């Protein structure tokens, strides 16, 4: 994200992605104490507003996982993306964004560095565990993300 236009495009794509998945995440039982899904839709809306944008949200229909193994696969993707969010936050800061203006969603995503190791402990201790269900859920979530990149609104 080397310029404000690219960053705004990223925000809109993330807004479409999180509009699709956050309602599903909100209904999930936490995997473990302290591992409630991190919802980012509200922060993304505020970030867009900070930058003078109020894009249309096009949430996609998708089949969220119904099994614990599927939930673990989906959460693997989401918790892992928080690791990459550290890099994105540094790039956003170079564009003048902060945890209180334009990059709230990234700040929230990276706020708790203990989540990844805690998630890995839960994952490793999960029995029974179906790798196929976990992988299917992870692939499904990536498909939603990729599709969101194609549906993000360019309108204000």
Return the pLDDT at 151: 64
pTM of this structure: 0.91
Distance CA 94, CA 90 (A): 6
Return the pLDDT at 154: 42
Domains of the chain: 4-151 (1.20.910.10)
Specify the DSSP class assigned to residue 30. Answer: P
Distance CA 37, CA 77 (A): 12
Cβ atoms of residues 37 and 26 within 8 Å: yes
Contacts of 131 (CB under 8 A, 6+ apart): 69
Nearest to 55 by CA among 106, 14, 2, 104: 14
Return the pLDDT at 153: 44
What's the mean per-residue pLDDT of the chain?
Answer: 92
Distance CA 59, CA 19 (A): 5
- At 33, the pLDDT band (50, 70, 90 cuts) reads confident
């Amino acid at each position: 994200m080397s310029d404000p236009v690219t960053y705004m495009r990223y925000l809109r794509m993330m807004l479409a992605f999180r509009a699709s998945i956050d309602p599903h995440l909100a209904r999930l039982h936490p995997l473990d104490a302290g591992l409630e899904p991190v919802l980012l839709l509200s922060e993304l809306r505020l970030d867009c507003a900070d930058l003078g944008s109020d894009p249309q949200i096009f949430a996609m229909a998708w089949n969220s996982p119904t099994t614990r193994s599927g939930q673990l696969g989906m959460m693997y993707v989401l918790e892992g993306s928080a690791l990459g969010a550290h890099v994105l936050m540094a790039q956003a800061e170079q564009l003048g964004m902060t945890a209180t203006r334009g990059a709230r969603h990234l700040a929230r995503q990276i706020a708790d560095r203990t989540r990844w190791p805690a998630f890995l402990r839960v994952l490793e201790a999960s029995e029974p565990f179906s790798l196929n269900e976990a992988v299917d859920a992870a692939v499904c979530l990536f498909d939603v993300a990729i599709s969101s990149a194609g549906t993000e609104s360019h309108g204000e």
